[in-house]
Amino acid sequence: MDIRKVKKLIELLEESGIAEIEIKEGEEAVRISRMPTGSAVVHALPQIAAAAPIQAPAAPVAEAPKARSNEHVVTAPMVGTFYASPTPGAKSFVEIGDEIKVGQVLCIIEAMKMMNQIEADRAGRITSVMARNGDPVEYGQPLFVIE
């Protein structure tokens, strides 16, 4: 795609007030989205052979349970897919009853094809695992309880 076309698309985006636009020309695709400050960002997208199936909206996320004074609830810092182990079939990072240290990996949340390791922010013992492997998680959803 010609850079002049991309610059023109950015100008049109800024003039129109649209938050995001995606254009495909043959095998090339460009997505331009407005950042909160009003500037535009261009993302080059790989060509996708088949569209991903659309999933039904997830059920409302339950509010984090009230933690007792000696408990700490680890919540999802982002929206994505919860993985309890580094690879399919591998042993989980942590299980109920495990003693953990600050910085120890608890799980992985996949968001936009990026694998994000979620680490413990305090030491203790895992008393509850509140998400299942492969489940979608929402921002702020309770994942673990540490005692």
Cβ proximity of 125 and 97 under 8 Å: yes
Q: What is the pTM of this model?
A: 0.54
Q: Which two tokens stand for residue 35?
A: 């950042």
Please write the tens of the pLDDT for every residue from 115-128: 899 999 999 999 99
pLDDT at residue 138 in the model = 93
Q: What is the DSSP letter of 88?
A: T
Please write the tens of the pLDDT for every residue from 17-73: 677 777 777 777 777 776 554 444 455 555 545 444 555 554 444 444 455 667 899
Find residue 102's DSSP bridge partners.
none
Alpha carbon distance 63, 95 (integer Å): 22
